A and B are shown apart, each in its own frame.
Chain A
Amino acid sequence: MIEVKELVKNYGEHTAVDGINFRVRKGEIFGFLGPNGAGKTTTLNILAGLSLPSSGTAIIAGQDVTKHPIGCKKRLGIATQDSNFDHHLNIKDNLFYQGLLYGLSRKELKRRVEDALRWAKLENYRKKRFHQLSGGMQRRLVVARAMLSDPEIILLDEPTTGLDPQSRRQVWMYIKDLKEKGKTVLLTTHYMEEADILCDRISIIDHGRIIACGTPDELKRILDNDILIDISLNPEVISEHIEKDLNNMSGVNYVKRSNHGIKIGVGDDSVVEQVLNSIITKNKINGINIIHPTLEDVFLHLTGREMR
């Protein structure tokens, strides 16, 4: 649905997007994960026709965004990072006047506005102004507005930035619902957990360049050790025999003694059970902590630093 090739965007001396390539498949949620200033919003703005690329191409449903902006925009709905609602109009009128720009008939548009408000569970707030809504409601409304024209592709720029954890999870439900409705979603985020939970595939972008792309699991496999099993037990009871057995077990990458017990790095979940069985049956365990790698670890591994 979206194909970006060697896309570059320069602002004077500064290169915001530096020759990126990616492809978004029909019906998937594709995440653009990276720190602030990585080039995520610039890329989205190029796709939305708000910015022109310095070089390279961006194709939406077979049409070049710079050559056929109208055709591309007809297939797009965008929820920008800025909420951009008219503060003097109520939310229903805001949706109506945005929808009017898509050339819909008044009757059809009124129906869609009501549908959008119902979908966002804001039908009882239709006479409210945007600033009178809570942060979570505002973001839901912004996503609902992007759906007004019933587009095939929805671009979401940082859809949950600034929200409390509860509101964030609510917005996630709505984004998942977009996928269930058959929409193709491209979202940008700097929240690792958000990308991990929502996205089918993720591109990690930093300093205008894509440094990795794949499913969340594929990205985590970039790391040498998938899962860390941290077992608390009296270190004195750990015999060399146990250590040797663990090291010989298939799928175990390393075994290290720690102050409070032993740490074992394993390849995947199936090995976890095997490891635990071999230790639990022979020792008195004080505690077990199983740590799966996160995208944060992947980012750290790829860039040598934590996300800004």
Chain B
Amino acid sequence: MNTRAIKTVLAIWEREMYEYMNNLHVNAMRLAVEPLLFIFIFGMGLGNRVDMGNVSYVEFLAPGILFMVVTNNSYMTISMRLMIARDWDKTLVNALTAPVKPFEIVLGYIFAGVTQALAASVIFILLIYYLLGISFGCIPLLVLFIVATAAFFSSLGVAIAMWLDNPHHLMVVTSLVVMPMSFFCGIFIPVTDLPEWIQPVIEAIPLTKAVEGARAIALGTDPYLLQNLIYILIFTFAVFLVGIHIFKKKVIT
């Protein structure tokens, strides 16, 4: 990657972050309020009736909700922003008329998704720590999982946004694919509590590996941290390549 390519990636990243900061009041509401609602309603309300053994339900739930935050702040924002850039204000075409390569633009969007997910995660971790006294364990290790998962979901956001021609379909895909992922991938209930036939499918989804990894870091329950991380990174790379392929196909006719 040469200097020009790095400058392009940073230019796209900076622009996306500038927009993000311009809408900080809206983003802050989403960052703080939404995950806390889940923690309070499910964790502290419903959670009092759930027996998780030697940990409280809210302690079990917090690492899962953290990765729901990561998903929302990478997949949702990047897919929406890219679709707006392509179909609504059409700034994507304009970016492509500059001396840049398509994959540099994609990389810029993914970096922005990772940064936004990381910022949202830090806010969530601090809120949960100071409000409920729940710790997430080794933070540097957790950050690796957050970055890898955010990169995966940002790449998925690129691939899906560019694959779909109709903006309305983005909501359908989100409702039918991404939302169920949140419910099944071990965020609210352990994967082992799901029907046996579906468990291998759920275990194969990178989000499950991320939630299990985060829970292991917080609660010390899973010894396969490195394997989980590598698994997520392999999927990230594969989805990134698919995203680039669809992006090129759609923007350069």
A associates with B: yes
Q: Does B30 contact A (CB under 8 A)?
A: no
Tell me whether A49 and B252 are in contact in the complex, defined as CB-CB below 8 angstroms, given that A76-B97, A88-B22 are known contacts: yes
Interface residues on B, range: 20 to 34
B4 partner residues in chain A, CB cutoff 8 A: 70, 103
**Beta-carbon contact of B97 and A85 below 8 Å:** no
Instruction: Report Cα–Cα, A52/B251, bound state, in Å.
Output: 11
Would A52 and B89 count as touching, CB distance under 8 A? no
B226 close to A (CB within 8 Å): no
- Assess whether B253 is in contact with A85, with CB atoms less than 8 Å apart: no
Give the chain A neighbours of B14 by CB distance below 8 A.
97, 100
Q: Which residues of A (55-91) have their CB < 8 Å from a CB of B?
A: 69-71, 73-74, 76, 78, 80, 82-89
Per the CB 8 Å criterion, the residue count for chain A at the interface is 31
Q: Which residues of B contact A48 (CB under 8 A)?
A: 97
> Contacts of B23 on A, CB cut-off 8 Å?
88
Taking A70-B101, A97-B18 as contacts, is the C-beta distance between A87 and B89 under 8 angstroms? yes
**A84→B15 contact, CB < 8 A:** no
Tell me the residues in window 34-52 of chain A with beta carbons closer than 8 Å to chain B beta carbons: 45, 48-52
A98 within 8 A of B: yes
- Contact at A101–B90, with CB atoms within 8 Å? no
Report yes or no: B18 in contact with A49, Cβ–Cβ below 8 A. no
Among A52, A84, A103, the residue within 8 A (CB) of B93 is A84
10 closest A-B pairs (Cβ-Cβ)?
A: A101-B98, A84-B90, A100-B11, A73-B99, A97-B15, A84-B94, A70-B99, A74-B99, A78-B97, A103-B7
**Residues of chain A having any CB pair with chain B under 8 Å:** 11, 45, 48-52, 69-71, 73-74, 76, 78, 80, 82-89, 93, 97-98, 100-103, 149
Interface residues of B (CB under 8 A from A): 3-4, 7-8, 11-12, 14-15, 18-19, 22-23, 88-91, 93-101, 251-253
